[in-house]
């Protein structure tokens, strides 16, 4: 089944404790991205990647890191999480450029930072 | 000013009703437009792309008005299963995809 998977789905952590949210897609998509969704603000892009070893900042990259060592994986790293990073996070992938094709989203990761 | 703006609703309509949502975008150079659907606590999924000439998919019709910089989504004969949040999405530039905050629809029996 073609899909985007994220892990963990739910995470409660404390300020400053490094964490990684994994994202993997099995559709051989080149384009992958991370979003956060907050009430009243909608989905905002954190980082995106056009291909392996190519990443770039989205609208709200502060406090986040990403890597793209393999085509299928695009982990999101929070080196020192803070309470304002409490949010619902979605990973997405698409065949090529962001708008040229459908974005496939993972099921979401609900993160709470205490 | 936000790149994409939508009326958050909620829109509460009876089954069988016709309902329309509008979405405005700020950048006149935007080149691609979409409607996504998001069910409660779920991921967004593409509902339909919006083409310049307008397009229809069953009970759903999407329109684009470049002069006024808005897109619309019309749902005819609303079903209970149409209850969801509808996200307007605009592509501006090479890779800048902007999402609206969504319009919440509840179809009432």
Question: How high is the pLDDT of residue B95?
Answer: 73
| pLDDT over 60 at A103, yes or no | yes
Contact A103, A4 (CB under 8 A): no
Q: Which of A33, A103, A107 sits opposite B46 (nearest CB)?
A: A103
| Per-residue model confidence as pLDDT tens digits over A20-69 | 999 999 999 999 999 999 988 889 999 999 999 999 999 899 999 999 99
Q: Taking phi first (over 0 means left), then psi (-120 to 50 degrees means alpha), and beta for anything else, what does residue B95 get?
A: alpha
Question: How high is the pLDDT of residue A60?
Answer: 95
Decide if A10 touches B, using CB distance below 8 A: no
Mean pLDDT is lowest, of A85-94, B8-17, B90-99, for B90-99
Q: How far is CA B86 from the centre of its chain?
A: 5
| Per-residue model confidence as pLDDT tens digits over A75-97 | 999 999 999 999 999 999 998 76
Question: How high is the pLDDT of residue A20?
Answer: 98
Q: What is the DSSP letter of A98?
A: T
Which chain A residues are within 8 Å of B44, Cβ to Cβ?
43, 90, 103, 105
| Per-residue model confidence as pLDDT tens digits over B33-69 | 999 999 998 999 999 999 888 899 999 999 999 999 9
Contact A94, A104 (CB under 8 A): yes
B-proximal residues of A, 30-49, CB under 8 Å: 31, 33, 35, 40-45, 48
Query: DSSP string covering B32-91, please?
Result: EEEEEEE-TTS-EEEEEEE-TT-EEETTEEEEEETTTTEEEEEE-S--GGG-EEEEEEEE
Which chain A residues are within 8 Å of B94, Cβ to Cβ?
97-98
Contact B45, A105 (CB under 8 A): yes
């Amino acid at each position: 089944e073609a899909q985007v998977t994220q892990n963990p789905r739910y995470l409660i952590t404390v300020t400053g404790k490094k964490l990684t949210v994994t994202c993997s897609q099995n559709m051989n998509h080149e384009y992958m991205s991370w979003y956060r969704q907050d009430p009243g603000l909608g989905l905002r892009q954190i980082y995106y990647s056009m291909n392996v070893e190519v990443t770039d900042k989205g609208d709200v990259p502060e406090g986040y890191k990403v890597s793209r060592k393999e085509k299928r994986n695009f982990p999101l790293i929070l080196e020192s999480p803070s309470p304002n990073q409490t949010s619902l996070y979605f990973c997405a992938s698409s065949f090529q450029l962001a708008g040229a094709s459908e974005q496939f989203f993972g099921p979401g990761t609900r993160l709470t930072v205490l | 000013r936000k790149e994409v703006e939508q009326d958050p609703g909620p829109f509460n309509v009876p089954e069988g009703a016709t309902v329309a949502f509008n979405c405005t975008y700020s950048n006149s150079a935007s080149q691609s437009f979409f409607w996504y659907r998001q069910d409660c606590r779920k991921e967004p999924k593409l509902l339909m792309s919006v083409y310049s000439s307008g397009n229809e998919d069953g009970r759903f019709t999407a329109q684009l008005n470049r002069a006024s910089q808005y897109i619309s989504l019309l749902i005819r004969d609303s079903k209970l299963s149409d209850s969801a949040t509808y996200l307007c999405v605009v592509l501006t530039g090479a890779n800048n995809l902007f999402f609206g905050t969504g319009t919440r629809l509840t179809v009432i029996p």
